[in-house]
Amino acid sequence: MTKQVNVIAPAKLNLTLDVTGILPDGYHSLDMIMQAITLYERVIVRKSQDIVLRLPGSRVAANQKNTAYKAAVEFLRYTGLLTGVEIEIHKITPVRAGMAGGSADAAAVLVGMNELYGAKLSMTELCAIGATIGADVPFALMGGTCRVQGKGDLMKALPPCPECWFVVVMPSVGVSTPEAFARYDQMGSSVHPDSQQAEQAIRQGDFVALCQSCGNALEECSGAEETPAIKERLCQYGAKTSLMTGSGAAVFGIFEQEELAKQAVVELRRQYRRVYLARPDRGGARVVPAFKSRPASQRPGGFRKR
């Protein structure tokens, strides 16, 4: 009998993000290309009679407001199971970064509990549960490359994006998502990326066209003061384009060549503590037999030039 399940859940980057209006429920309507990357939250779920949440080594609060806790509650409510779960999360994705770390945690709990208790819920059912927890949870379940619209509930799976490398830099200060959208409502944006054009570039496997299509309508109003300098440095080191992800504050560059990306990591870590090297991931939250050791390139400060 299975008593423990290990789950990895990829972080995400927004290759495009445009605000297209306001929905009747007050949420902003978005049009985005979202990409899962090889930077993983690591979640262990174990059978328990109560819901217990632990986040060893993390400053994130392990309380009932945590998305992982909410996911456990909603899973049990949906399935009617009269039990609990012990959740242990090893945080890797930066907080307040726009990389959906909390949503990845929730997705991992849903996938893990589905396996742990043999519930056999479909992806459609898991996404329906996930949507009640957070707008990015359905994508965290699906992963890969997706065109995402509405408030995150309308998803279309796309072919894998062209092979590339991502260098992600987390500034010293994070961004509040509600505050970023409030500033957008006041300021607007001069940036409105064409997600349809980006989708076409992905379907054609056109790396250059994809980079030309990238953009984020929230970047100008995020309040993240370090963004322009980080973008400039990423491009100096060889990124074909650079932009903020989500509502911020993480900034990433897209590199065609591995060596340039690795050199950028070395250089940027001279100034920024949290710099990550990643590639596109073709999946979402998923069960693994055991956790592999984390590559040095994904450990802040752990990558060194040879």
| Gap between the Cα atoms of 260 and 237, Å rounded | 7
96 has binding-site annotation: yes
94 has binding-site annotation: yes
> And the tokens for 99?
């990389």
Contact (CB, 8 A) for 180 and 53: no
| Gap between the Cα atoms of 138 and 7, Å rounded | 16
Edge-first strand order for the sheet with 251-255 is: 241-244, 251-255, 165-170, 274-278
For residue 56, the one-letter residue type is P
58 has binding-site annotation: no
Phi then psi dihedrals of residue 154, to 5 deg = -110, 110
Contact (CB, 8 A) for 189 and 254: no
Concatenated DSSP letters for 40-107? EEEEEEEEESSEEEE-TT--S--STTSHHHHHHHHHHHHH----EEEEEEE--SPTTSSS-HHHHHHH
> And the tokens for 283?
């999946």
100 has binding-site annotation: yes
For residue 235, the one-letter residue type is C
Q: Which residues are catalytic?
A: 12, 136
99 has binding-site annotation: yes
242 has binding-site annotation: no
Element at 201 (helix H, strand E):
helix 195-204
Q: Which residues are annotated as a binding site for ATP?
A: 94-104
Which residues are part of a known binding site? 94-104
